[in-house]
Amino acid sequence: MKRRTIGSVNTGPLGFFDSGVGGLTVVRAVQELLPGEDILYLGDTARLPYGSKSPETIRQFADEDARFLIARGVKAIVVACNTATAHALPSLRQQYRVPILGVIEAGVDAALANPNAERIGIIATRGTIGSHAYQHALALRRTGLIIHGQAAPLLVPLVEENWIDHPATAMVLKTYLDPLVEKGIDTLMLACTHYPLLIPLLREILPDDVCLVDSATTCAEHLQKELVNLNLLAPAGNEGKLEIHLTDLSEEFEVLARRFLKKAPGRIHRAVLGG
Protein backbone atom coordinates (compact mmCIF):
# COMPACT_ATOMS: atom_id res chain seq x y z
CA MET A 1 0.00 0.00 0.00
CA LYS A 2 2.56 2.59 -1.07
CA ARG A 3 1.46 6.06 -1.96
CA ARG A 4 1.78 6.59 -5.69
CA THR A 5 0.47 9.52 -7.70
CA ILE A 6 -0.44 8.79 -11.30
CA GLY A 7 -1.48 11.93 -13.18
CA SER A 8 -4.55 13.32 -11.44
CA VAL A 9 -5.32 10.14 -9.53
CA ASN A 10 -3.80 8.43 -6.56
CA THR A 11 -3.80 4.73 -5.83
CA GLY A 12 -3.19 5.01 -2.10
CA PRO A 13 -6.09 4.30 0.23
CA LEU A 14 -8.01 6.89 2.20
CA GLY A 15 -7.28 6.58 5.91
CA PHE A 16 -10.10 6.94 8.46
CA PHE A 17 -9.83 6.80 12.21
CA ASP A 18 -12.32 6.88 15.04
CA SER A 19 -12.41 5.92 18.70
CA GLY A 20 -14.43 2.86 17.73
CA VAL A 21 -16.73 1.68 14.98
CA GLY A 22 -19.13 4.66 14.90
CA GLY A 23 -16.98 6.28 12.21
CA LEU A 24 -18.14 3.52 9.87
CA THR A 25 -21.29 5.61 9.29
CA VAL A 26 -18.94 8.07 7.57
CA VAL A 27 -17.26 5.23 5.64
CA ARG A 28 -20.65 4.03 4.47
CA ALA A 29 -21.56 7.49 3.18
CA VAL A 30 -18.17 7.78 1.45
CA GLN A 31 -18.57 4.35 -0.18
CA GLU A 32 -21.91 5.44 -1.59
CA LEU A 33 -20.53 8.66 -3.02
CA LEU A 34 -17.02 7.48 -3.98
CA PRO A 35 -17.27 3.74 -4.62
CA GLY A 36 -13.84 3.58 -6.27
CA GLU A 37 -11.87 4.63 -3.18
CA ASP A 38 -9.89 2.10 -1.18
CA ILE A 39 -10.38 2.71 2.53
CA LEU A 40 -8.20 1.81 5.48
CA TYR A 41 -10.16 2.23 8.71
CA LEU A 42 -8.70 2.28 12.21
CA GLY A 43 -10.99 2.04 15.24
CA ASP A 44 -9.36 2.45 18.66
CA THR A 45 -11.81 0.08 20.33
CA ALA A 46 -9.35 -0.78 23.15
CA ARG A 47 -9.58 2.79 24.44
CA LEU A 48 -13.03 3.90 23.33
CA PRO A 49 -14.89 6.11 23.98
CA TYR A 50 -12.97 9.34 23.47
CA GLY A 51 -16.01 11.56 24.18
CA SER A 52 -15.67 11.55 27.96
CA LYS A 53 -11.86 11.92 28.15
CA SER A 54 -9.59 14.94 28.50
CA PRO A 55 -8.36 17.01 25.52
CA GLU A 56 -4.75 16.07 26.28
CA THR A 57 -5.46 12.35 26.28
CA ILE A 58 -7.57 12.61 23.11
CA ARG A 59 -4.73 14.43 21.31
CA GLN A 60 -2.28 11.72 22.31
CA PHE A 61 -4.60 8.94 21.12
CA ALA A 62 -5.38 10.78 17.84
CA ASP A 63 -1.68 11.22 17.18
CA GLU A 64 -1.08 7.48 17.58
CA ASP A 65 -4.05 6.75 15.31
CA ALA A 66 -2.76 9.10 12.59
CA ARG A 67 0.73 7.59 12.74
CA PHE A 68 -0.72 4.12 12.22
CA LEU A 69 -2.46 5.25 9.03
CA ILE A 70 0.46 7.30 7.70
CA ALA A 71 2.80 4.34 8.18
CA ARG A 72 0.48 2.44 5.83
CA GLY A 73 0.72 4.99 3.03
CA VAL A 74 -2.68 6.65 3.10
CA LYS A 75 -3.13 9.54 0.64
CA ALA A 76 -5.38 11.51 3.02
CA ILE A 77 -6.83 11.10 6.49
CA VAL A 78 -10.43 11.57 7.59
CA VAL A 79 -10.85 12.04 11.33
CA ALA A 80 -14.20 10.23 11.44
CA CYS A 81 -14.79 11.16 15.07
CA ASN A 82 -16.22 14.44 16.25
CA THR A 83 -14.41 14.45 19.59
CA ALA A 84 -11.03 13.82 17.97
CA THR A 85 -11.73 16.44 15.28
CA ALA A 86 -12.70 18.94 17.95
CA HIS A 87 -9.59 18.47 20.07
CA ALA A 88 -6.87 17.14 17.78
CA LEU A 89 -7.36 18.35 14.19
CA PRO A 90 -5.24 21.53 14.46
CA SER A 91 -2.31 19.72 16.09
CA LEU A 92 -2.48 16.83 13.60
CA ARG A 93 -2.43 19.27 10.68
CA GLN A 94 0.59 21.03 12.12
CA GLN A 95 2.45 17.80 12.56
CA TYR A 96 1.76 15.83 9.38
CA ARG A 97 1.95 16.75 5.69
CA VAL A 98 -0.76 14.39 4.45
CA PRO A 99 -4.13 16.17 3.94
CA ILE A 100 -6.28 15.70 7.06
CA LEU A 101 -10.03 16.33 7.06
CA GLY A 102 -12.33 16.44 10.04
CA VAL A 103 -16.08 16.20 10.35
CA ILE A 104 -16.68 19.69 11.75
CA GLU A 105 -16.03 21.93 8.73
CA ALA A 106 -18.22 19.66 6.63
CA GLY A 107 -21.08 19.83 9.12
CA VAL A 108 -20.81 23.58 9.49
CA ASP A 109 -20.82 24.02 5.69
CA ALA A 110 -23.93 21.89 5.42
CA ALA A 111 -25.77 23.65 8.25
CA LEU A 112 -25.06 27.08 6.77
CA ALA A 113 -25.97 26.01 3.23
CA ASN A 114 -29.44 27.00 4.39
CA PRO A 115 -29.37 30.83 4.25
CA ASN A 116 -32.25 31.00 6.74
CA ALA A 117 -30.49 29.00 9.47
CA GLU A 118 -30.44 31.22 12.54
CA ARG A 119 -30.97 29.09 15.65
CA ILE A 120 -28.72 26.08 15.63
CA GLY A 121 -28.78 23.24 18.14
CA ILE A 122 -25.82 20.87 18.44
CA ILE A 123 -25.91 17.48 20.16
CA ALA A 124 -22.65 15.63 20.73
CA THR A 125 -20.48 13.97 23.34
CA ARG A 126 -19.45 15.98 26.37
CA GLY A 127 -15.93 16.31 24.88
CA THR A 128 -17.15 17.79 21.60
CA ILE A 129 -19.57 20.22 23.25
CA GLY A 130 -16.98 21.25 25.84
CA SER A 131 -14.39 21.96 23.13
CA HIS A 132 -16.68 24.66 21.65
CA ALA A 133 -15.26 23.65 18.26
CA TYR A 134 -18.64 23.65 16.51
CA GLN A 135 -19.82 26.79 18.28
CA HIS A 136 -16.62 28.57 17.23
CA ALA A 137 -16.68 27.37 13.62
CA LEU A 138 -20.32 28.42 13.23
CA ALA A 139 -19.84 31.83 14.82
CA LEU A 140 -16.82 32.56 12.62
CA ARG A 141 -18.81 31.79 9.50
CA ARG A 142 -22.03 33.72 10.18
CA THR A 143 -22.69 36.51 12.63
CA GLY A 144 -25.88 36.69 14.62
CA LEU A 145 -26.42 32.95 14.95
CA ILE A 146 -27.99 31.70 18.15
CA ILE A 147 -26.20 28.48 19.05
CA HIS A 148 -27.19 25.95 21.69
CA GLY A 149 -24.78 23.09 22.47
CA GLN A 150 -26.20 20.10 24.34
CA ALA A 151 -23.99 17.28 25.59
CA ALA A 152 -25.86 14.01 25.02
CA PRO A 153 -23.55 11.35 26.46
CA LEU A 154 -26.18 8.62 26.76
CA LEU A 155 -26.89 8.44 23.03
CA VAL A 156 -23.72 6.54 22.07
CA PRO A 157 -24.39 3.66 24.50
CA LEU A 158 -28.06 3.52 23.44
CA VAL A 159 -27.09 3.33 19.75
CA GLU A 160 -24.42 0.72 20.53
CA GLU A 161 -27.10 -1.37 22.24
CA ASN A 162 -29.27 -0.92 19.11
CA TRP A 163 -32.06 0.56 21.22
CA ILE A 164 -32.73 2.92 18.33
CA ASP A 165 -36.50 2.66 18.65
CA HIS A 166 -36.80 1.82 22.36
CA PRO A 167 -39.13 4.02 24.44
CA ALA A 168 -36.26 4.69 26.86
CA THR A 169 -34.26 6.18 24.00
CA ALA A 170 -37.18 8.42 23.06
CA MET A 171 -37.34 9.56 26.68
CA VAL A 172 -33.60 10.27 26.77
CA LEU A 173 -33.78 12.18 23.47
CA LYS A 174 -36.70 14.27 24.76
CA THR A 175 -34.76 15.11 27.90
CA TYR A 176 -31.89 16.41 25.77
CA LEU A 177 -33.95 18.04 23.00
CA ASP A 178 -36.95 19.63 24.70
CA PRO A 179 -34.87 22.61 25.91
CA LEU A 180 -33.52 23.12 22.38
CA VAL A 181 -36.97 22.91 20.82
CA GLU A 182 -38.28 25.40 23.38
CA LYS A 183 -35.54 27.75 22.25
CA GLY A 184 -36.91 27.49 18.71
CA ILE A 185 -33.98 25.84 16.89
CA ASP A 186 -34.38 25.65 13.10
CA THR A 187 -31.38 23.31 12.63
CA LEU A 188 -30.09 20.39 14.68
CA MET A 189 -26.52 19.24 14.09
CA LEU A 190 -25.92 15.57 14.90
CA ALA A 191 -22.29 16.06 15.87
CA CYS A 192 -21.38 12.45 16.59
CA THR A 193 -20.89 9.66 14.09
CA HIS A 194 -23.24 7.35 16.00
CA TYR A 195 -26.25 9.60 15.68
CA PRO A 196 -27.31 8.98 12.06
CA LEU A 197 -28.91 5.75 13.30
CA LEU A 198 -31.24 7.86 15.46
CA ILE A 199 -32.61 9.91 12.55
CA PRO A 200 -35.93 8.02 12.26
CA LEU A 201 -36.64 8.52 15.99
CA LEU A 202 -35.46 12.15 15.86
CA ARG A 203 -37.86 12.79 12.98
CA GLU A 204 -40.73 11.57 15.19
CA ILE A 205 -39.72 13.72 18.13
CA LEU A 206 -38.71 16.99 16.49
CA PRO A 207 -41.00 19.54 14.85
CA ASP A 208 -41.16 18.95 11.06
CA ASP A 209 -39.43 22.21 10.20
CA VAL A 210 -36.21 21.46 12.11
CA CYS A 211 -33.47 20.66 9.60
CA LEU A 212 -31.17 17.72 10.56
CA VAL A 213 -27.48 17.87 9.62
CA ASP A 214 -25.44 14.72 10.21
CA SER A 215 -21.69 14.11 10.20
CA ALA A 216 -21.70 11.15 7.83
CA THR A 217 -23.25 12.45 4.61
CA THR A 218 -21.86 15.98 5.01
CA CYS A 219 -18.34 14.63 5.53
CA ALA A 220 -18.59 12.41 2.43
CA GLU A 221 -19.58 15.40 0.27
CA HIS A 222 -16.82 17.53 1.72
CA LEU A 223 -14.28 14.76 1.14
CA GLN A 224 -15.31 14.40 -2.50
CA LYS A 225 -14.70 18.12 -3.11
CA GLU A 226 -11.34 18.01 -1.38
CA LEU A 227 -10.15 14.96 -3.30
CA VAL A 228 -11.08 16.66 -6.58
CA ASN A 229 -9.28 19.86 -5.54
CA LEU A 230 -6.17 17.98 -4.47
CA ASN A 231 -6.14 15.63 -7.48
CA LEU A 232 -6.35 12.68 -5.16
CA LEU A 233 -9.30 10.72 -6.57
CA ALA A 234 -8.81 6.99 -7.10
CA PRO A 235 -8.28 5.82 -10.69
CA ALA A 236 -11.50 5.45 -12.68
CA GLY A 237 -12.78 1.89 -12.68
CA ASN A 238 -11.10 1.03 -9.38
CA GLU A 239 -13.22 -1.21 -7.21
CA GLY A 240 -12.91 0.26 -3.75
CA LYS A 241 -11.86 -2.09 -0.97
CA LEU A 242 -12.39 -1.60 2.74
CA GLU A 243 -9.89 -2.85 5.31
CA ILE A 244 -10.81 -2.48 8.98
CA HIS A 245 -8.29 -2.50 11.82
CA LEU A 246 -9.38 -2.37 15.47
CA THR A 247 -7.19 -2.11 18.56
CA ASP A 248 -9.48 -4.54 20.38
CA LEU A 249 -11.41 -7.31 18.66
CA SER A 250 -14.64 -8.83 19.91
CA GLU A 251 -17.78 -10.35 18.48
CA GLU A 252 -19.66 -7.34 19.81
CA PHE A 253 -17.56 -4.92 17.74
CA GLU A 254 -18.19 -7.02 14.63
CA VAL A 255 -21.94 -6.87 15.22
CA LEU A 256 -21.72 -3.09 15.67
CA ALA A 257 -19.54 -2.69 12.58
CA ARG A 258 -22.14 -4.50 10.50
CA ARG A 259 -24.87 -2.25 11.89
CA PHE A 260 -23.01 0.99 11.13
CA LEU A 261 -21.88 -0.14 7.66
CA LYS A 262 -25.22 -1.78 6.85
CA LYS A 263 -23.32 -4.74 5.43
CA ALA A 264 -20.79 -7.38 6.50
CA PRO A 265 -17.47 -5.76 7.40
CA GLY A 266 -15.30 -8.60 6.04
CA ARG A 267 -12.30 -9.80 8.02
CA ILE A 268 -11.32 -7.38 10.79
CA HIS A 269 -7.65 -7.06 11.72
CA ARG A 270 -6.14 -6.46 15.14
CA ALA A 271 -4.14 -3.21 15.21
CA VAL A 272 -1.23 -2.58 17.55
CA LEU A 273 -0.49 1.13 17.99
CA GLY A 274 2.64 2.94 19.10
CA GLY A 275 6.23 1.90 18.88
User: Which residues are catalytically annotated?
Assistant: 81, 192
Q: Does the protein bind a copy of itself through residue 126 (CB under 8 A)?
A: yes
How far apart are the C-alpha atoms of 232 and 99, rounded to whole Å?
10
Q: Does the protein bind a copy of itself through residue 53 (CB under 8 A)?
A: yes
Query: 114 with 141: CB under 8 angstroms?
Result: no
Q: Does the protein bind a copy of itself through residue 128 (CB under 8 A)?
A: no
Using CB under 8 A, which residues numbered 219 to 248 contact a copy of itself? Answer: 248
Cα-Cα-Cα-Cα torsion 179, 185, 187, 193, nearest 10 degrees, comes to -10
Nearer to a copy of itself, 141 or 166 (CB): 166
CB under 8 Å to 137, separation ≥6 — which residues?
104, 105, 108
Neighbours of 206 (CB within 10 A): 18
| Contact window for a copy of itself (CB under 8 A) among 24-32, 53-61, 116-124, 231-239 | 53-61
Q: Which of 33, 172, 233, 273 binds a copy of itself (CB under 8 A)?
A: 172
Minimum Å gap between C-beta 235 and a copy of itself is: 38
Nearer to a copy of itself, 179 or 235 (CB): 179
For the four alpha carbons of 170, 121, 114 and 128, in that order, the dihedral sign comes to negative
Q: What angle do CA 139, 140, 145 make, to 5 degrees?
A: 25
How far apart are the C-alpha atoms of 193 and 21, rounded to whole Å?
9
Phi, then psi, of 264 in degrees rounded to 5: -65, 135
Q: Omega of the bond prior to 49 within 30 degrees of 0, cis?
A: yes
| Contact window for a copy of itself (CB under 8 A) among 22-30, 152-160, 205-213, 214-222 | 152-160
Q: Which of 9, 46, 70, 201 binds a copy of itself (CB under 8 A)?
A: 46
Minimum Å gap between C-beta 98 and a copy of itself is: 26
How many residues at the interface with a copy of itself, by CB under 8 A? 25
Which residues would be at the binding site for a copy of itself (CB under 8 A)?
A: 45-47, 52-54, 57, 126, 153-154, 157-158, 160-161, 163, 166-168, 171-172, 175, 248-250, 252
